[in-house]
Amino acid sequence: MLRVAVVGSGPSGCYTAQSLVQRDPEVRVDVLDRLPCPYGLVRYGVAPDHEKIKSLQGSLRTVLEHERVRFLGGVRVGGPGGLPARRLRELYHAVVYCVGAATDRRLGIPGEDLAGSWSATEFVSWYSAHPDAADAGFLRGVRTAVVIGVGNVAVDVTRMLVRGAAELRPTDIPQAALDTLAASGLTEVQMVGRRGPAQARFTTKELRELGGLPDTDVIVDKAELALDPADPGALPTGPRRNVEVLRDWAARPPAVAAARRIRLRFFLRPVELLADGGRVGAVRFERTAPDGTGGMTGTGRYEDVPAQLVLRSVGYRGVPLEGLPFDPASGTVPHQEGRVLRDGVPCPGEYVAGWIKRGPTGVIGTNRPCAKETVTSLLADVPALGRAVLPEEPVAALRAAGVEPVPWDGWLAIERAETELGARLGRGVVKLSDWDALLGAARVLS
């Protein structure tokens, strides 16, 4: 028998487990997660109104319910109180780290930490009911917001800021976030890119969705689009379509009666967050110009955009995991085809997949081939790793270390509690958003 631990139950962890059981009839896989709930960013990153993407949970569920896969929630690996990575190696023939990119990139500009300035990740965690997220009063007194960055996360948070409560009510958004968004007095969001529309990272489908939001006008300035003289016809399909959509919007007359506006801005690089009464009051941008090679240069001209809320959506970043090598430049674990490299030397028995392996890029499906490559390396190493019976049973060892894992039944009990909460509120499933509620449901009801 081959016993493998997969650390992280998001898409990369689930696809790794799936590939393992499909390709080795004798493997047994434990999928560990520090949270009592599975699915990683599918549960805690995909926006609640993206129900189609969220439905991917159904196929990840099939993996975690496979007879040779076991979900062990509430198990932290590394860090204070966590199971050390070297201990995990003693309990399994091989360990695959699929821990994602747990933090956000920094802008590194003055005022970044002013009250009212948040990373998009913090905002996403809040509306996704992540138990570590604080209800930070994101929208208190906010009339205008700035979202820095033009990737898909920026589109998500922009859309969520203006989406009406009526549309979010049927989703699983936690009640407190729904109430806050319903009471919001926000009228305008500016989503701002430091380069041009052709270099924006959002995908066209996500961009187009902004144009279909009820009672919301999308405004694009023709003059800003014209700053890039490059011929859109020469662009690859994705950027070309983005530019076409933006040009269409720029050509439309503004909707007079819309309650909310989204302004898509380009060629503005943030240089400082300006305070007003101890909180953020505006963002100072420098106008940029294309440098002809896809980059940009500063022009020395500045524009202050008023905002009582700033969401910095400039990408995720991996965090070092105690006991594993880490490349601070890329925020990833150095690897060769998924094998962890220590001082440049592959370490059979230790692997990575997903964002901690290749950085925070790509869509959910990108994790499938990524996981497959790692599993190919792992299975090629099996002759060296051996399949000898291991001396300890992992769950018994975890309990001896004072960790009581949340089993799959515990997660099913959380799901039932979320259905019951929704029924009490006259809604569908509503997510539980704090540790006590999650662990209470998992342990009491299971």
Which residues bind to ligand NAP, rule: CB under 6 A? 107, 148-154, 156, 193-195, 199, 201, 206, 269-270, 313-316, 360-363
Contact 47, 120 (CB under 8 A): no
Closer residue to ligand NAP, CB minimum distance, 148 or 225: 148
DSSP H helical segments within 92-142, as ranges? 120-127
Is residue 432 classed exposed, middle or buried when 0-12, 13-18 and 19+ CB atoms within 10 A define those classes?
buried
Whole-number minimum distance, CB 333 to ligand NAP, in Å?
18
Residue 141 CB-half CA count within 13 A: 10
Tell how far CA 379 is from the center of its chain: 29
Closer residue to ligand NAP, CB minimum distance, 201 or 339: 201
Q: Which residue has the tokens 């051996």?
A: 386
Closer residue to ligand NAP, CB minimum distance, 271 or 397: 271
3-state secondary structure 217-253: EEEECHHHHCCCCCCHHHCCHHHHHHHHHHHHHHHCC
Residue 286, beta-bridge partner list: 269, 302
| C-alpha–C-alpha distance, residues 32 and 302, integer Å | 49
Whole-number minimum distance, CB 92 to ligand NAP, in Å?
29
Closer residue to ligand NAP, CB minimum distance, 332 or 377: 332
Strand locations in 33-161 (E): 69-72, 94-97, 103-104, 117-119, 144-148
Closer residue to ligand NAP, CB minimum distance, 145 or 153: 153
- 191 SS3 class: strand
Whole-number minimum distance, CB 204 to ligand NAP, in Å?
11
| C-alpha–C-alpha distance, residues 238 and 297, integer Å | 24
Whole-number minimum distance, CB 312 to ligand NAP, in Å?
8
Radius of gyration of the chain (CA): 23
Closer residue to ligand NAP, CB minimum distance, 44 or 316: 316
Is residue 363 classed exposed, middle or buried when 0-12, 13-18 and 19+ CB atoms within 10 A define those classes?
exposed
Closer residue to ligand NAP, CB minimum distance, 271 or 347: 271
| C-alpha–C-alpha distance, residues 152 and 143, integer Å | 23
Closer residue to ligand NAP, CB minimum distance, 206 or 350: 206
Closer residue to ligand NAP, CB minimum distance, 111 or 270: 270
* φ and ψ at residue 416, rounded to 5 degrees: -65, -40
Whole-number minimum distance, CB 360 to ligand NAP, in Å?
5
Whole-number minimum distance, CB 86 to ligand NAP, in Å?
31
Whole-number minimum distance, CB 12 to ligand NAP, in Å?
13
Closest of 336, 334, 373, 341 to residue 356, by C-alpha: 334
| Strand arrangement of the beta sheet that strand 188-192 belongs to | 117-119, 309-312, 144-148, 188-192, 260-265, 216-220
Relative to beta strand 144-148, strand 216-220 is: unpaired
The dihedral of CA 159, 119, 60, 433: what is its sign?
Answer: negative
Closer residue to ligand NAP, CB minimum distance, 270 or 410: 270
Q: Which residue is nearest to ligand NAP (CB)?
A: 151
Whole-number minimum distance, CB 135 to ligand NAP, in Å?
22
Closer residue to ligand NAP, CB minimum distance, 34 or 358: 358
Whole-number minimum distance, CB 103 to ligand NAP, in Å?
12
Whole-number minimum distance, CB 335 to ligand NAP, in Å?
19
Contacts for 341 with CB less than 8 Å, ≥ 6 apart: 325, 334, 335, 347
| C-alpha–C-alpha distance, residues 363 and 310, integer Å | 25
Whole-number minimum distance, CB 316 to ligand NAP, in Å?
5
